[in-house]
Copies of this chain bind each other. A is one copy, B any other.
Amino acid sequence: MSLRQYEYALAVAEEGSVTAAAELLRVAQPSVSQQIRGLERELGVQLFARTPTGLVPTVVGRAFLREAEIAVRAARRARATARAGADELVGELVVAVQMGFGTRQLPGALGALRRRFPRLEVTVFEEPSHAELERLCRRGVLNLALMAACERSPADAHHLGDEGFVVVLGAGHRLLAADRVELGDLEGEPWVRFDRDSALDAVLLKVLREHGLTPNTVARVSQTATAVRWAAQGLGVTLVPASAVPRGQEHLARPVFPVVSHPVLAVVRHGADPAESALLELLRKEPWAESAFPVPF
């Protein structure tokens, strides 16, 4: 099953004769003759009827040729795509983002990327678990991972900036009276938390522990949008990245004191593609919050 045989068969069908096909293909006539014969022998079917004036496709030959043309065209397209990739940025970029981080910056960067390289397609996975994200990274299926910093973050990760966190309170909550919420004031509040192994829950837990609080968990959700909605309806309070609060709900969010923010890292493979580097640069240029504390990583 060689593509050459298919091309030769298509040329013969197109030209109606082996000689003409050979001329078109810039090879000698016996070569085409042999390939056609070999193909027919391999398939066990006569693809062409021999007439004194040339070769004509048989009934089954026509059906074969229809599929063969699809194959040859796709093969040529594959080739052209790869060749184009040598000059322009072409292909499919696979990005994973840790749920809740970079929700404002990533769309901006991807939009800019698309404007600069229209033939570059991007697929984004949202993944809450740090362990799973790391596994995908190690397996190499990702071109870029956007994740919250943690102890196990690789040394060559790029620090993009920080994600600032805000508390979301139910409508009419007493703490909405102030411009900011002191963490100590949240003692005893019911909490809308995040999935057990998610980075968002890790941040939440770490912040509360540092201030000697033990959260009273009323629900666990996987998405920030859900957490905000549930908190707004008074189920409890929650702590989410500032960029995760949707328009129209800002009046229910308050900055935290002391400021809570978390470093966001981008992990790319070692010998980075031009496409990967381009996305990394665009992510750097997006507006990020200032760091609340020196990055320990």
Contact = CB atoms under 8 A, between A and B. Distances in A.
A72 B77 CA distance: 12
Nearest to A54: B140
A20 interface: no
Given A74-B71, A85-B45, A62 B92 contact: yes
A85 B65 CA distance: 13
A249 interface: no
Number of copies: 2
B49 A83 contact: no
Given A2-B2, A140-B49, A141-B56, A62 B91 contact: yes
A47 interface: yes
Interface string A191-216: 00000000000000000000000000
A227 to B, nearest CB: 34
Interface stretch (A25-33, A162-170, A179-187, A268-276): A268-276
Given A59-B91, A62-B91, A82 B45 contact: yes
A49 B271 contact: yes
A70 B54 CA distance: 32
A115 interface: no
Contact of A60 (B51, B65, B91): B91
Interface string A76-95: 11110111011001111110
Given A4-B2, A58-B273, A63 B43 contact: no
Contact of A273 (B16, B44, B59): B59
A288 interface: no
Size class of A's contact patch? 35 or more
A151 interface: no
A86 B45 contact: yes
Contacts of A45: 82-83, 85-86
Contact of A71 (B75, B92, B139): B75
B63 A90 contact: yes
Given A2-B2, A51-B140, A59-B143, A82 B64 contact: yes
Interface of A: 1-4, 6, 16, 43-45, 47, 49, 51, 53-54, 56, 58-68, 70-72, 74-79, 81-83, 85-86, 89-94, 120-121, 138-141, 143, 269, 271, 273, 275-276
12 contacts: A43-B79, A43-B86, A44-B83, A45-B85, A51-B140, A54-B140, A59-B275, A59-B276, A62-B91, A62-B94, A63-B90, A71-B77
